[in-house]
């Protein structure tokens, strides 16, 4: 039985998030942009389970790429 080793969008988010220098600032800015609680994002989205709702994943990737490009 073969396993699929294709990276998922969550894998991409994990890799990008690891490159963010100021994770607290990033989380606060993303939460404000989405009208969410920074604490909720930190615990549920960027915690151990990476439970980012599918409808927000593209936005999170875009926000991460922008943040990394700006060197934040």
What distance in Å separates the CA atoms of residue 37 and residue 22, rounded to the nearest whole number? Answer: 17
Q: What is the pLDDT of residue 55?
A: 97
What distance in Å separates the CA atoms of residue 13 and residue 18, rounded to the nearest whole number? Answer: 8
Q: List the chain residues with pLDDT less than 70.
A: 1-4
Q: Cβ(13)–Cβ(58) under 8 Å? A: no
Q: Dihedrals φ, ψ of 17, to 5°?
A: -60, -35
List, for residues 29-45, the tens digit of each pLDDT value: 999 999 999 999 999 99
Q: What is the pLDDT of residue 5?
A: 73
Q: What is the pLDDT of residue 72?
A: 75
């Amino acid at each position: 039985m073969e396993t699929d080793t294709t990276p998922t969008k969550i894998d991409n988010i994990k890799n990008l998030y690891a490159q963010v220098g100021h994770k607290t600032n990033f989380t606060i800015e993303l939460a404000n942009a989405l009208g969410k609680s920074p604490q909720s994002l930190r615990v549920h989205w960027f915690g151990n389970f990476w439970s980012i709702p599918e409808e927000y994943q593209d936005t999170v990737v875009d926000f991460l790429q922008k943040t990394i490009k700006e060197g934040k």
